């Protein structure tokens, strides 16, 4: 990636430069399929003469697309962080659209599944939640790898998205009436992953298992590629609010968040399931209970136990 950084009316500190470098690395992780020599990122940071405000403007140029964002804040650090957060959202949206086009180029009417208003509703729900579903799948695969229950590279998340899409579309009449389409899709994802884990366990001693994992290309081949600190990643009492004007504090916070995901991966499976769906995916305790077959009280207990474990491990 070709990067050009300009500042106007103020001098960038070394800590700002380090923060910018960290943020650009995250952008690179989302663009591995593009030749870095034809990807340009222009960064302009300006101290405005009125109001003591800072404006960060980013222009990312990739083949057939330019993405421009601009953020105005009271300090340079917040302006930089928010601008890069918005750029990542735009890049994710762009790549998700590419994935969506590939996903929906499948046979429009699989045998026995004619297009009906009910099928259209399911497809629309999948389209609306595709980024969230993809992110959830990447995170779950990463957690299973860290937990040692799945070989790295064994499962390609793209393929799992396709499997879920086909299953949901072909079996829309089997959706439990108590679940929304979104909740049902997440349940299908979890059940599909569970079957994959059972297959791994059944063939744990099979020498071809590792060979299969080695043949599968990782989805963008970065274990933390799902991770975006600007998303509602964690409950407020575990992390700071991210509004600091100090670049060192922002960088330290991001390191804690990365460590946190590894700690989440090591939680007992039942606690991790409740915590991820409740704290990271934003479902209510009642919704998680319906999706997992637990009681709402048990979900609340799981989440609280997971929080306490994470706090102790991270010394928060």
**How many other CB atoms are there within 10 angstroms of residue 300's CB atom?**
16
- Predicted confidence at residue 228, as pLDDT, reads 42
Q: Look at the pTM and tell me if it is higher than 0.75.
A: no
Phi, psi (rounded to 5 degrees) for 52: 55, 45
Pairing of strands 2-8, 40-47: parallel
Query: Could you name the CATH architecture of 117-314?
Result: Up-down Bundle (1.20)
- pLDDT tens for the chain, 316 residues: list them: 899 999 988 888 888 898 899 888 888 877 766 777 888 999 999 998 876 789 999 999 987 788 999 999 888 888 998 899 889 888 877 776 666 555 555 544 454 555 677 777 777 777 777 777 877 888 888 888 887 787 777 777 777 777 888 788 788 788 888 888 888 888 888 888 888 888 777 766 665 555 544 444 443 434 444 444 334 344 344 444 445 556 677 666 667 777 787 888 888 888 998 998 888 888 899 999 988 889 999 999 999 999 888 888 877 6
Q: How far is CA 316 from CA 83, 185, 237, 243, 313, in A?
A: 28, 34, 9, 18, 8
- Predicted confidence at residue 97, as pLDDT, reads 64
Helices of type H across 203-284: 208-215, 247-265, 269-275
Phi, psi (rounded to 5 degrees) for 305: -65, -40
Phi, psi (rounded to 5 degrees) for 104: -90, 10
The 10 Å CB-count burial string (b at 16+, else e) for 95-116 is bbeebbeebeeeeeeeeebeee
Homologous superfamily of 2-94 in CATH? Answer: Ribosome hibernation promotion factor-like (3.30.160.100)
Hey, where are the domains in the chain?
2-94, 117-314
């Amino acid at each position: 990636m070709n990067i050009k950084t300009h500042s106007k009316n103020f001098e960038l500190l070394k800590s700002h430069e380090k923060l910018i470098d960290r943020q650009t690395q995250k952008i690179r992780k989302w663009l591995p399929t593009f030749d870095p020599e034809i990807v340009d990122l222009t960064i302009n940071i300006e101290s405005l003469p009125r109001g003591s405000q800072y404006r960060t403007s980013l222009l990312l140029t990739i083949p057939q697309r330019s993405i421009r964002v601009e953020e105005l804040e009271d300090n340079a650090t917040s302006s930089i962080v928010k601008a890069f957060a918005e750029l990542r959202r735009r890049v994710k949206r762009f790549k998700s659209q590419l994935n969506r086009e590939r996903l929906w180029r499948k046979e429009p009417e699989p045998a026995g599944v004619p297009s009906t208003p009910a099928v259209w509703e399911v497809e629309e729900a999948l389209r609306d939640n595709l980024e969230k579903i993809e992110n959830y799948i990447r995170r779950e695969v990463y957690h299973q790898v860290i937990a040692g229950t799945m070989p790295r590279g064994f499962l390609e998340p793209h393929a799992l998205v396709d499997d879920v899409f086909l299953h949901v579309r072909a079996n829309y009449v089997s959706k439990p009436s108590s679940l929304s389409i979104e909740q049902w899709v997440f349940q299908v994802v979890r059940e599909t992953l569970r079957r994959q884990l059972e297959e791994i366990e059944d063939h744990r001693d099979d020498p071809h298992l590792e060979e299969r994992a080695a043949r599968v290309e990782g989805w963008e081949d970065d274990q933390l590629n799902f991770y975006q600190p600007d998303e509602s990643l964690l409950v407020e009492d575990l992390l700071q609010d991210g509004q600091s004007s100090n670049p060192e504090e922002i960088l330290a916070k991001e390191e804690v968040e990365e460590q946190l995901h590894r700690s989440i991966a090591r939680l007992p499976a039942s606690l991790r399931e409740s915590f991820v769906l409740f704290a990271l995916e934003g479902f209510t305790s009642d919704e998680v209970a319906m999706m997992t077959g637990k009681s709402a009280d048990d979900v609340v207990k799981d989440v609280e136990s997971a929080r306490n474990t994470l706090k102790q491990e991270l010394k928060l």
